[in-house]
């Protein structure tokens, strides 16, 4: 009997979450392609913002975010860690002669996650600065 109640409770919770998600999507001005890249905490806060604040967030995000294409171009000359402001890794990268080129090969496959992580950090930083300014 307990398992039926648990299943029913779980179904109700999922339904509430789905309804809330559909309502939240209507409150976000930013395109879905960008929203999908943002961390959950930033998405939650964007829903609470009015359209003008969302537009300010998006302008700042576009200005500070990095692109994969540029990162790959800089990877060819070995400056991709400097692009994402990882100066310590950049120095080690040069000192080890690109990790005897093994590191270079690995970074070819890691580049999308490196850029995604950097852009997520940027979005959180922008959100924090917007909250600090508004207080």
- Taking only the tens place, the pLDDT of each residue in 18-55 is 555 554 455 677 778 788 889 989 988 888 888 898 89
The answer to whether 83 and 76 are in contact (CB under 8 A) is: no
pLDDT of residue 34: 82
Angle between helices 102-134 and 51-64 (to 10 degrees): 150
Instruction: Please give the Cα distance from 4 to 1 (Å, whole number).
Output: 5
pLDDT at 5 over 80: no
pLDDT of residue 24: 47
- pTM listed for this prediction: 0.75
The helices-and-strands tally (H runs, E runs) of the chain is: 9, 0
Instruction: Please give the Cα distance from 63 to 78 (Å, whole number).
Output: 23
> For 76-104, what is each residue's pLDDT tens digit?
999 999 999 999 999 999 899 888 889 88
Question: Read out DSSP for 80-112?
Answer: HHHHTT-HHHHHHHHHTHHHHTHHHHHHHHHHH
């Amino acid at each position: 009997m307990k398992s039926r109640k648990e299943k029913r409770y779980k179904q109700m919770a999922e339904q509430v979450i789905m309804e809330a998600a559909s309502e939240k999507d209507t409150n976000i001005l930013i395109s879905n392609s960008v929203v999908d890249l943002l961390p959950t905490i930033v998405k939650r806060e964007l829903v609470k913002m009015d359209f003008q604040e969302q537009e300010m967030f998006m302008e700042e995000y576009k200005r500070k975010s990095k692109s994969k294409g540029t990162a790959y171009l800089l990877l060819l000359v070995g400056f991709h860690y400097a692009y994402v402001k990882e100066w310590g890794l950049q120095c080690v990268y040069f000192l080890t002669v690109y990790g005897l080129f093994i590191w270079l090969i690995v970074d070819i496959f890691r580049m999308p996650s490196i850029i995604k992580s950097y852009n997520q950090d940027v979005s959180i930083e922008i959100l924090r600065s917007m909250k600090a300014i508004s207080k």
